[in-house]
Amino acid sequence: MKFIRVISILFWFLLVILIPVQPVVGQSMSSAVITISVQGPLTPALVGYIERGISSAEKQNAELLVLQLDTPGGSIDLMNTIVQNIRSSEVPVAVFVAPRGAIAGSAGTLITLAGHIAAMAPETAIGAASPVGGQGEDLGETIEAKQKEILKASVRSLASNRGPDAVALAEDTIENAKAASSEEALSVGLIDLIATDVNDLLVKINGRTVELSTGSKILNLDNFVVYPLEMSFIENLLQL
């Protein structure tokens, strides 16, 4: 009996540790904002974390999900999955390249453009999205041409409502590995705004209209409350 009791205690202890804690949103759902933070190269663990963030925001009926991004990039397959999840989200997703010094490199460029709101902090950078091999090596001429064409088609689609200058810069990040500062990206309309932090971002986008797959939505962030959603123990373990 003592052995069974010890096993039972151990089971519940592990259950509490391993199950990710979901943010508890109060009765007023209109200004609930869930935030997730993605740092480092894209991995399946980060993809799962982003998927959980979107799912949590939808279940909580949050007003907005903020994806804070700092990545040098990753595989095209993982990037495509993230882009698809963002674009199909029922809750608006603001991709925020932050904090200062952060980058949205390579695949991070397309993830930023996939956001219903695309923002950057000061002293951040975006671009250098030319495709390379899994170990960073140059691709063969034919494969490189194919990858560039499909990626350029993707950014044209994602940036189509941002004007010709934004589309040209987006394509240049792929064709010529062009990178841009937050100020340069804003000047051509590649991003929507520059914000110092999440609170500044939420104040600046309050009242904006975003286009979801389900239609237009006006962001109501008059009295926002931020609920950070951290990576779970398992997600952190898999990321390592």
Give me the active site residues, please. Answer: 106, 148
Q: Which two tokens mark 229?
A: 């959603």
- DSSP per-residue string spanning 92-116: -EEEEE-STT-EEETHHHHHHHHSS
> What tokens does 206 get?
């309050």
CA distances to 114, 165, 188, 190 from 181, rounded to whole Å, are 18, 15, 11, 11
CB 159 within 8 A of CB 170: yes
Distances (CA, A) of 19 to 26, 29, 96, 234: 21, 24, 27, 8
Radius of gyration (C-alpha) of the chain in whole angstroms:
19
Query: How far apart, in whole angstroms, are the C-alpha atoms of residue 58 and residue 91?
Result: 6
Q: Is 42 helix (H, G, I), strand (E, B) or coil?
A: coil
